[in-house]
Amino acid sequence: MGSSTKERHRSGRASRPRNLMDIASSLRRGDFTIPALLETYLDRISEAEPQIGAFEHVAPDRARDAAAALDGLLRSGTDLGPLMGMPVAIKDIFAVEGMPVHAGSNIDVAEMIGPEGRFVGMLRRAGCILLGKARTVEFALGGAAGVNTRRGTPRNPRDGLVHRGCGGSSSGSAAAVAAGFAAFAVGSDTGGSVRIPASFCGLVGLKPTTGLWSTDGVFPLCETLDTVGLLTASVTDAATIFHALQGGECPPSRPVDHLRLGRLTGAFIDGLDAPVAAAFDAAIAALRAAGARIEDVAFPDFGRAEDFFHTIVPAEFIAGFGAQRFRALRTELGDDIAARGEAGLAVTAESYIAMQRRRRRLAAEAHSAIAGFDAWLAPAVDMLAPPVAALDDREAGTALNARIGRLTRPINLCDFCALSMPIGGAALPVGLQVMAPRGHDARLLSLAGELERELMPKI
């Protein structure tokens, strides 16, 4: 490449390489600069954000200042790693210094969130550029469809004709990545709020082991289950981010024909909409054809996962928010959120403790059952992304939200690490949920990377 051509690459807009490692390599080759990379994302935001509504707040001037500083560091020989210069969207339940935090509400809860926490600090130290705050369901409290009646509901970028939900509560984070507004996004997952948006938007949603990444500086919905998670374009990207933040080497991958996988049965395959069932069956068939050993597995009997979530989550939300404050401000909340919070007022200490004990017993059973398997597989959601209008009726919306989260919530309760990855075969995205025991996050990503390589060209 001649010097004049190289200079045009460096000063002009960057093309969009396939994954984060491609971007990192291109930056280090001098194909373009960090400021040029940033402008490609800001251009997309300028062009399409009015239609998508992914962001609560965008900070282009702060992002440009950060890009210029990081570019100077990289050119002077200071390399912070593969995430250096990557523009990131942050779910608006996280505190980010210099940006407002609304937690999807018109009520000021900044004091409950506190200052910027350790996870956002990790992103800064890795050289990420914090683009802005992505929209969320109010207080991240339920709302599996991703609807926010107070501050706006993002549009799923996968359908240009119908306003479909992105999934909640990390709806804006998913929309930002699916629309090409950010290299990756940060969300949180209490009952599926990373995996559901990933499934609806054709992304990878990583729910790590609970507690792996600190939740300080994050709105405290449910300390028992709240988990910081990622939304990315691929498993490869999720693994790149994970290892950049955690350190250590990626464990060696095992060929698909060396894997023993469990296909969850019962409620996990009953009642699937036809396009989801077909896509899931095609994925299982493709993996079997590649030599994977796949056995049917019954998930431990949790009863109704909703019973746990109707006890533990509202009780912990009210404990943090305050019962008196909730009663005083109830009318300022969205009706759906107020109803979910109201349930926490009726939870007794006896019922809360009994439910926690039951959850721990069942989690132990689930970990015993998964022993000997490399991972378990199931659909992430039993339907395609619904139109937002389908939730207009309160009773229908409540039932739909419960259904959307029914395949992800048991995984939070037993504290597996898990991810949703896109599989083809339907008009709209379908997510394959891959699950592994607590603490096996790196192995999960390595295995899912093998599944991604095997499945994506075929289905």
Spatial separation of the C-alpha atoms in residues 452 and 172, rounded to whole Å: 24
Residue type (1 letter), 386: P
Q: What is the pLDDT of residues 348-405, one digit of tens each?
A: 999 999 999 999 999 999 999 999 999 999 999 999 999 999 988 888 888 999 999 9
Spatial separation of the C-alpha atoms in residues 317 and 139, rounded to whole Å: 9
| Residue whose entry in the numeric block shows the structure tokens 């390399």 | 79
The pLDDT score that the predictor gives to residue 392 is 87
In the predicted model, what is the mean pLDDT of residues 135-145? 92
Q: Is residue 62 part of a domain?
A: yes
Q: What is the pLDDT of residues 25-57, one digit of tens each?
A: 999 999 999 999 999 999 999 999 999 999 999
The pLDDT score that the predictor gives to residue 427 is 93
Q: Is residue 240 part of a domain?
A: yes
Q: Is the pLDDT of residue 294 over 90?
A: yes
Question: What's the structural domain count of the chain?
Answer: 3
Considering the domain architecture, whether residues 69 and 143 belong to the same structural domain is answered as: yes
Considering the domain architecture, whether residues 180 and 275 belong to the same structural domain is answered as: no
The pLDDT score that the predictor gives to residue 410 is 95
In the predicted model, what is the mean pLDDT of residues 426-430? 95
Q: Is residue 352 part of a domain?
A: no
In the predicted model, what is the mean pLDDT of residues 130-158? 94
Q: What is the pLDDT of residues 219-274, one digit of tens each?
A: 999 999 999 999 999 999 999 999 999 987 778 888 999 999 999 999 999 999 99
Considering the domain architecture, whether residues 113 and 232 belong to the same structural domain is answered as: yes
User: What is the torsion angle, in degrees rounded to the nearest 10, for the CA atoms of residue 353, residue 357, residue 362 and residue 367?
Assistant: 120
Q: Is residue 135 part of a domain?
A: yes
Structure tokens at 155: 């549009």
Considering the domain architecture, whether residues 184 and 270 belong to the same structural domain is answered as: no
Average the pLDDT over each of 5-19, 27-41, 126-140, 331-345 and give the range with the smallest value.
5-19
Considering the domain architecture, whether residues 279 and 324 belong to the same structural domain is answered as: no
Considering the domain architecture, whether residues 209 and 127 belong to the same structural domain is answered as: yes
The pLDDT score that the predictor gives to residue 41 is 98
Considering the domain architecture, whether residues 315 and 421 belong to the same structural domain is answered as: no
Average the pLDDT over each of 188-197, 298-307, 421-430 and give the range with the smallest value.
298-307
pLDDT band at residue 3 under the 50/70/90 scheme: very low
Considering the domain architecture, whether residues 212 and 312 belong to the same structural domain is answered as: no
Considering the domain architecture, whether residues 312 and 278 belong to the same structural domain is answered as: no
The pLDDT score that the predictor gives to residue 4 is 35
Considering the domain architecture, whether residues 269 and 231 belong to the same structural domain is answered as: no
Domain stops at, among 282, 317, 345: 345
Q: Is the pLDDT of residue 117 over 90?
A: yes
Q: State the burial class of residue 247 (Cβ atoms within 10 Å of its Cβ: 0-12, 13-18, 19+).
A: exposed
In the predicted model, what is the mean pLDDT of residues 103-120? 98
Q: Is residue 95 part of a domain?
A: yes
Q: What is the pLDDT of residues 167-219, one digit of tens each?
A: 989 999 999 999 999 999 999 999 999 999 999 999 999 999 999 999 999 99
HEC-encoded secondary structure of 1-33 = CCHHHHHHHHHCCCCCCCCHHHHHHHHHHCCCC
The dihedral built from the CA positions of residue 113, 115, 117 and 120, taken in this order, carries a sign that is positive
In the predicted model, what is the mean pLDDT of residues 3-18? 45
Structure tokens at 158: 């996968």
Question: How many other C-beta atoms can be found within 10 angstroms of the C-beta atom of residue 330?
Answer: 15
Q: Is residue 353 part of a domain?
A: no
Q: Is 417 left (phi over 0), alpha (psi -120 to 50) or beta?
A: beta
The pLDDT score that the predictor gives to residue 306 is 84
Considering the domain architecture, whether residues 144 and 81 belong to the same structural domain is answered as: yes
Domain stops at, among 288, 316, 345: 345
| Residue whose entry in the numeric block shows the structure tokens 């992105």 | 166
CATH of the domain at 266: 3.90.1300.10
Structure tokens at 333: 């909340």
Contact residues for 386 (Cβ-Cβ < 8 A; gap 6+): 145, 164, 165, 400, 404
In the predicted model, what is the mean pLDDT of residues 325-343? 94
The pTM score is 0.95
Segment holding 204, helix H or strand E: strand 204-207
The pLDDT score that the predictor gives to residue 253 is 83
pLDDT band at residue 14 under the 50/70/90 scheme: low
Spatial separation of the C-alpha atoms in residues 103 and 75, rounded to whole Å: 37
Domain carrying residue 366: 256-302+358-455
Q: Is residue 351 part of a domain?
A: no
Q: Is residue 268 part of a domain?
A: yes
Considering the domain architecture, whether residues 221 and 133 belong to the same structural domain is answered as: yes
Q: What is the pLDDT of residues 66-78, one digit of tens each?
A: 999 999 999 999 9
The pLDDT score that the predictor gives to residue 457 is 65
The pLDDT score that the predictor gives to residue 8 is 32
Q: Is the pLDDT of residue 1 over 70?
A: no
Active site residues: 91, 169, 193
